[in-house]
Structure 1
Amino acid sequence: MSIKTIHIPAGGGFEHVTVGSTQPVEPGPGEITVRVRASSLNFHDRAAAGEAGGRAGDRDFVE
């Protein structure tokens, strides 16, 4: 089974966002796995991507 992964590279910007598939990772001690059926983008997401005055780092979001 694979899961959808959204990757925002360092430097950010939505024009550099890629969507791919990865293998799920078993949660470690004190962690859980959460199934997401729907999501949305807001101002904070734009800032995380390095737009709207935010600073971007290398990030992966797993859907």
Structure 2
Amino acid sequence: MYVCLCNGITESDVREAGRAGHVTPCALKAKFKLKENGCCGRCAKNIGELVEIATQASATSCPRATDR
């Protein structure tokens, strides 16, 4: 599902950003350049939902299995 039509950002993009450590409002705004370059800013108004999506993704990412 798209969360930002201006920049073509999908929920999957936000989850991937969360797994990469972008889990704060400022980090997500910077990562996706929200409210810049013609972006209307509606997605930035819902940044709490984006943070929740990113945080869930970072919490569910699986660490690499180590050889024993």
TM-score (structure 2 length as normaliser): 0.27
Q: Greater share of helix residues, 1 or 2?
A: 2
> Which gives a bigger RCO, structure 1 or 2 (Cα 8 Å, sep 6+)?
1
The structure richer in strand per residue is 1
TM-score (norm 1): 0.29
